[in-house]
């Protein structure tokens, strides 16, 4: 997917004014946060589980090479064809090659964020092969020609009204207003595609080394149909999604649905180990897994390594005050919210997403909910340090900070300057004791807010005066 | 007990009443309060903007200024969090300063934490009366675990009623430089905070961080709300409020 993160500031400002989007975001926000809080409360050892999961992910990343090898060996023993892709282009062309080798005309697809990274749909369609997204959210945005705005709820930026309109237009049927009826209509439209598709593409939430399996965690039956109905199944994933054992997977499953949607368990958990065997009732004749490493190995050896623990639950964005108000598209790439603000620059180069690590209040509402304890604000700060080292900060920011630091490290001058500033500020504040318009610095503060004026004397001044009088 | 007062750069310049109220609270409890005159800032602006080197200079400066006290008290969760939870990591390339950062962190307290957990203060002499709603500023809450402390203190005031808002832990959108660099987003976040505050109909919103106070006060006033007071908890506990201390 093309990256547009450099437009974050302008896009986010326009998103704040987009009444339709704001309505949809408001509807979405409460739901996930409230239901997560409820199920987390039901467990009395949630923090212990989080720690254990974080440890497992760390262990796995520390021995990733050997777990991936083990996974590959087991997968091959089960009859899976394993491919490794070191670029987006490579992954996409492997998919097309598999499709061409198997005379595939139509592909049904279940959600995959890796597929979003590589721009898979467009590429495959460019080779004359039809692709149908079958996850309801993905189906909606495919119809609308958009990108996901959330990693587990891709169409969360759309209200029910938007969907009603979209379906009426695309399906050329009468407009429906009921969510259930809309879902039903999408199913009806999709059903024939399930029956005549030659290939199914899914993502994989995890790859389990000890069994050589891939796993998908979903709430809709489409995932299971995509893995079992077509002749060929291709799962795409990335290297960091490996887990050593089934027990580890069980541990992740105590956290993933709870953190994501506030469910104790997702509606479906589908594990695939190789293609259909003799005697199996269903399953694909051929099963390919393509594993991507774009950026991952580099991040593994960097200070941002903790970010690779991510299990893509979406809790960090659901709880982020910035995401809650601007939505996912403003972030300009595949992964939005706090984890996106780390992964986007980490995978695409920090100079291509300067705003993202800065556009955060450092409130850490993300870090405290992350099921694998990724210290997201600390990682964003590390990226800010990298930006500083590479001199990517604006001149204004750079010089105002330099000036401030120069003064604040020299207390004598500082005390005089601040005494004068406090006076001037007091005068500017006038009777209302508020500054309504600031110039040079802080214009953006006073655009929509007042700046309370200083009260006129510094604490230092008052305190030292008192002491001298004694 | 020698208590170092770190008043914070923002309170020093913008709202000295917070420092005066803190001083008053400590003195009433019989602390010997030390105010190192050269103090300025904890270095957080540099730290959060990625200028690690400058942040280290500030950290070393603060560590040296508070080298001979039993405790350091800071009327801010954000600056307290900086000293207590970030200095050690920041100075980890110097074993000497790293150890001194640990030493300082162990002695540093956010004001309400100090009043409740070190001094066990159980009564306050204050002129403040009315209903209040308490906003949990992010760093205090998530870095230092400041949640019950201010509420315990407020509970001990006779003429104060606490009315909780629906999301007291939701960020106000300040975020230091964020509030200026991403003014539109920051302003929207604080707008929602103000909705929540106003829904309680409390006379005042009370908190422990001046940055968030300025953000909230600035927004309330721009919205035309001139009624809801925005107060630091030290001001509430002493009755020394805002501009009246000049
Ligand atoms: S960073 Fe943590 S909270 Fe965010 S999606 Fe990944 S696992 Fe979930």
Ligand 1 atom nearest the C-alpha of A342 is 1
Chain A residues within an 8 Å CB radius of B61: 409
Handedness of CA A154, A157, A163, A167 (dihedral sign): negative
- Domain positions in chain B are 2-117, 130-238
Q: Are B74 and B80 in contact (CB under 8 A)?
A: yes
Give pLDDT, residue B72.
98
Q: Other C-beta atoms within 10 Å of B95: how many? A: 9
Q: Is A265 helix (H, G, I), strand (E, B) or coil?
A: coil
Q: Mutating which of B5, B6, B11, B13 best tests the A interface, going by the most A Cβ atoms within 10 A?
A: B13
**Residue among B57, B175, B218 whose CB faces A362 most closely:** B175
Chain B: residue whose CA lies nearest to A409: B58
One DSSP character per residue, A9-32 reads HHHHHHHHT-HHHHHHHHHHHHHH
DSSP string over B17-53 = HHHHHHHHHHHHTT-EEE--TT----SHHHHHTT-HH
DSSP B228: S
Q: Is the CB of A315 under 6 A from ligand 1?
A: yes
How confident is the model at residue A218, as a pLDDT? 95
Taking the CA of residue B163 as centre, how many other CA atoms within 13 Å lie in the half-sphere pointing to its CB? 13
**Which among B182, B191, B193, B214 is the top mutation candidate for probing chain A, defined by the most A β-carbons within 10 Å of its own β-carbon?**
B182
Place of tokens 């997968």: A75
pLDDT single digits (tens) B150-186: 999 999 999 999 999 999 999 999 999 999 999 999 9
Which residues, at least 6 apart from B197, have a Cβ–Cβ distance to it below 8 Å?
B133, B135, B165, B205, B216, B220, B228
A312 pocket-lining for ligand 1 (C-beta < 6 Å): yes
Across the range A230-248, mean pLDDT stands at 98
pLDDT at B48 > cutoff 90: yes
How many angstroms separate the CA atoms of A8 and A331, rounded? 6
What pLDDT, on a 0 to 100 scale, did the predictor assign at position B246? 47
Q: Which DSSP symbol is given to B99? A: H
Q: What mean pLDDT is reported for chain A?
A: 95
Q: How do beta strands B204-207 and B130-134 pair? A: parallel
Q: Does A59 touch chain B (CB under 8 A)?
A: no
Grade residue B242 by pLDDT with cuts at 50, 70 and 90: low
C-alpha to C-alpha distance for A340 and A333, rounded to whole angstroms: 8
Cα–Cα distance for residue pair B231/B204, rounded to 1 Å = 7
Q: For atom 2 of ligand 1, which residue has the closest CA?
A: A370
Residues in A closer than 8 angstroms to B222, CB to CB, are 448-450
pLDDT at B162: 97
- Extract the tokens encoding A201: 């593409």
CATH class of segment(s) A43-294: alpha beta
Please state whether beta strands A213-218 and A268-272 pair in parallel, antiparallel, or not at all (unpaired).
antiparallel
**Among A265-269, A278-282, B94-98, which is the least confidently predicted range?**
A278-282
CATH annotation of A305-389? 1.10.1060.10
Pick the CATH number of B2-117 from 3.40.50, 1.10.10, 3.30.60, 3.30.70: 3.40.50
pLDDT per residue as tens digits for the range A314-350: 999 999 999 999 999 999 999 999 999 999 999 999 9
Q: Is B55 helix (H, G, I), strand (E, B) or coil?
A: helix
Q: What is the pLDDT of residues A371-386, one digit of tens each?
A: 999 999 999 999 999 9
Which chain A residues in 381-420 lie under 8 Å from chain B, judged by CB atoms? 381, 383-389, 393, 397, 401, 404-405, 408-409, 411, 414, 418
CATH number for the domain whose boundaries are B130-238: 3.40.50
- Closest-CA residue of chain A to B145: A368
Say yes or no for a CB contact (<8 Å) between A408 and B170. no
Q: How far is the CA of A235 from the centre of ligand 1 (A)?
A: 22
Question: What is the residue-wise DSSP string for A166-186?
Answer: HHHHHHTS-----HHHHHHHH
ipTM (interface predicted TM)? 0.96
Centroid of ligand 1 to alpha carbon of B102 (angstroms): 30
SS3 A8: helix
* Percentage of chain B modeled with pLDDT above 70: 98
Instruction: Compare CB distances from B13 to A325, A405, A421 and report the shortest one's residue.
Output: A421
Name the 3-class secondary structure at B57: helix
Length of chain B equals 246
Provide the residue ranges of all domains of chain A, joining segments of one domain with +: 43-294, 305-389, 395-469
The region that residue B43 occupies, defined by phi over 0 for left and psi between -120 and 50 for alpha, beta otherwise, is left
Choice among A82-91, B69-78, B120-129, B212-221 with the minimum mean pLDDT: B120-129
Return residues 326-385 of A near B (CB < 8 Å): 326, 358-365, 367-368, 381, 383-385
**Cβ atoms of A152 and A218 closer than 8 Å:** no
Ligand 1 pocket mutation pick from A113, A315, A377 by most atoms within 8 angstroms of CB: A315
Residues of B in contact with A457 (CB under 8 A): 16, 246
Q: How many CA atoms lie within 13 A of A134 on its CB side?
A: 32
**Mean pLDDT for chain B overall:** 96
| DSSP 8-state assignment for residue A87 | S
- How far is B84 from A434, CA to CA, in rounded Å? 33
Residue pair A239/A69 in contact (Cβ under 8 Å)? The answer is: no
Helices (H), B91-246: 95-107, 111-117, 138-144, 148-155, 178-181, 183-200, 210-222, 233-238
pLDDT tier for residue A255 given thresholds of 50, 70 and 90: very high
CB contact under 8 A, A462 and B187: no
Does the beta carbon of A311 lie inside 6 Å of ligand 1? yes
pLDDT score at B245: 46
């Amino acid at each position: 997917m093309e990256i547009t993160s450099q437009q974050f500031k302008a896009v986010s400002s326009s998103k704040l004014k987009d009444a339709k989007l704001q309505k949809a975001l408001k509807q979405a926000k409460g739901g996930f946060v409230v239901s997560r809080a409820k199920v987390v409360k039901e467990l009395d050892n949630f923090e212990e589980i989080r720690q254990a999961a974080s440890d497992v992910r760390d262990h796995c990343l520390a021995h990733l090479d050997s777990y991936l090898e083990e996974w590959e060996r087991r997968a091959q023993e089960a009859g899976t064809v394993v491919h490794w892709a070191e670029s987006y282009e490579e992954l996409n062309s492997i998919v097309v090659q598999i499709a061409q080798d198997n005379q595939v005309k139509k592909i049904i697809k279940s959600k995959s964020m890796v597929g979003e990274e590589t721009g898979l749909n467009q590429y495959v369609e460019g080779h004359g092969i039809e692709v149908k997204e079958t996850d309801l959210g993905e189906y909606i945005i495919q119809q609308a020609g958009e990108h996901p705005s959330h990693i587990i709820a891709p169409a969360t930026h759309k209200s029910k009204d938007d969907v009603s309109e979209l379906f009426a237009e695309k399906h050329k049927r009468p407009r429906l207003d009921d969510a259930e009826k809309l879902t039903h209509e999408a199913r009806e439209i999709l059903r024939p595609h399930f029956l005549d598709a030659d290939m199914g593409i899914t993502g994989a939430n995890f790859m389990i080394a000890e069994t050589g399996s891939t796993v998908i965690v979903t709430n809709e039956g489409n995932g299971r149909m995509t893995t079992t109905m077509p002749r060929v199944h291709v799962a795409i994933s990335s290297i960091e999604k490996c887990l050593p054992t089934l027990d580890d997977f069980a541990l992740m499953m105590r956290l993933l649905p709870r953190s994501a949607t506030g469910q104790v368990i997702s509606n479906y958990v589908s594990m695939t180990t190789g293609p259909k065997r003799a005697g199996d009732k269903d399953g694909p004749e051929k099963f390919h897994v393509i594993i991507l490493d774009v950026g991952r190995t580099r991040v593994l050896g960097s200070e941002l390594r903790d970010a690779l623990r991510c299990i893509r639950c979406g809790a960090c964005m659901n709880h982020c005050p910035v995401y809650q108000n601007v939505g996912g598209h403003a972030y300009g790439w595949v992964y939005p919210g706090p984890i996106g603000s780390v992964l986007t620059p980490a995978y695409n180069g920090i100079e291509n997403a300067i705003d993202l690590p800065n556009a955060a209040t450092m409130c850490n509402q993300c870090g405290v909910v992350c099921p694998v304890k990724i210290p997201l604000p600390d990682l964003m700060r590390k990226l800010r340090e990298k930006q500083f080292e590479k001199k990517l900060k604006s001149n204004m920011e750079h010089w105002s900070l330099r000036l401030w630091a120069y003064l604040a490290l020299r207390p004598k001058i500082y005390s005089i300057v601040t005494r004068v500033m406090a006076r001037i500020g007091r005068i500017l504040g006038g009777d209302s004791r508020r500054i309504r318009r600031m110039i040079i610095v802080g214009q953006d503060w006073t655009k929509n807010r007042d700046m309370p004026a200083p009260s006129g004397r510094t604490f230092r001044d008052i305190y030292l005066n008192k002491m001298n009088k004694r | 007990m020698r208590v170092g007062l770190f008043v914070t750069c923002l309170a020093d310049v913008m709202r000295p009443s917070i420092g005066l109220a803190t001083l008053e609270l400590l003195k009433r409890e019989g602390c010997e309060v030390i105010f190192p005159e050269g103090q300025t800032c904890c270095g957080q602006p540099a730290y959060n903007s990625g200028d690690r080197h400058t942040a280290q200079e500030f950290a070393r400066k603060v560590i040296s200024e508070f080298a001979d006290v039993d405790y350091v008290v800071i009327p801010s969760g954000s600056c307290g969090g900086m000293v207590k939870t970030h200095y050690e990591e920041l100075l980890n390339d110097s074993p000497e300063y790293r150890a001194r950062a640990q030493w300082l962190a162990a002695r540093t307290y956010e004001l309400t934490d100090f009043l409740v957990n070190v001094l066990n203060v159980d009564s306050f002499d204050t002129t403040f009366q009315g209903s209040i709603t308490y906003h949990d500023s992010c760093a205090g809450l998530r870095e230092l675990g400041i949640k019950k402390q201010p509420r315990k203190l407020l509970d001990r005031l006779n003429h104060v009623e606490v009315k909780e808002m629906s999301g007291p832990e939701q960020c106000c959108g300040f975020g230091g430089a964020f509030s200026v660099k991403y003014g539109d987003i920051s302003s929207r976040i604080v707008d929602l905070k103000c909705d929540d505050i106003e829904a309680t109909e409390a006379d005042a919103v009370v908190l422990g961080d001046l940055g968030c106070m300025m953000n909230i006060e600035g927004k309330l006033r721009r919205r035309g709300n001139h009624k809801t007071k925005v107060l630091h908890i030290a001001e509430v506990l002493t009755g020394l409020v805002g501009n009246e201390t000049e």
